[in-house]
Amino acid sequence: MGDFWVFGYGSLMWRPGFAHVETQRARLFGYRRALCVTSHVHRGSVEKPGLVLGLDKGGSCVGLAFRVPGDLKQEVMAYLRERELVTNVYEERQLTVRLRSGADVAAVGYVVDREHHQYAGHLSAEEAAMRIAGAVGRSGPNEEYVINTVAHLEAMRIRDHWLERVAALIAPQRSPAGG
């Protein structure tokens, strides 16, 4: 069994949780990183739902691709499915990503199911910030999730202007990237 790739665009980038032998910056075309998943457990509640990241249609997304040894496929896929498919708001897909090296490879990725009741749709940065403000779930405050995500992206030199705008709206005292 040959090696395979996994595409991370959110917390998988800084906390993959699985063994891999190579990491490359990668771009996925046709999908964008978006706060488009309603969270009523980890970053919100039934009374005050929050938002978490999903890959939604349109644009492109820079993330990380992890090359996993083929002999670990069963173990890694079981881990990813347990982590990503808890409420079935994501669909597991084989996606073509372009590695920093220029090569196009197939990678396992998780795309939001637009028909799922947790799909929040396309939101403006202002709408997303309003939903995030004050939402708290089992894993902590929603604001913390967004600000932490942006900080990690900045540390990896990955720009996401829309997400940076949301973070600026929920934490106005925070300076923008590069500032």
Catalytic residue among 47, 82, 84, 164: 84
Q: At which residue do the structure tokens 């939402």 appear?
A: 135
The contacts found for 75-80 with CB under 8 angstroms, 24 or more apart, are 75/18, 76/6, 76/18, 76/19, 77/108, 79/17, 79/18, 80/6, 80/18, 80/108, 80/110
Chain Cα centroid distance, residue 85: 13
Q: At which residue do the structure tokens 């967004």 appear?
A: 146
Task: Give the number of other Cβ atoms within 10 Å of residue 68's Cβ.
Answer: 23
Residue 25 to residue 40: CA distance in whole angstroms? 31
| 127 included as an active-site residue | no
Catalytic residues: 84
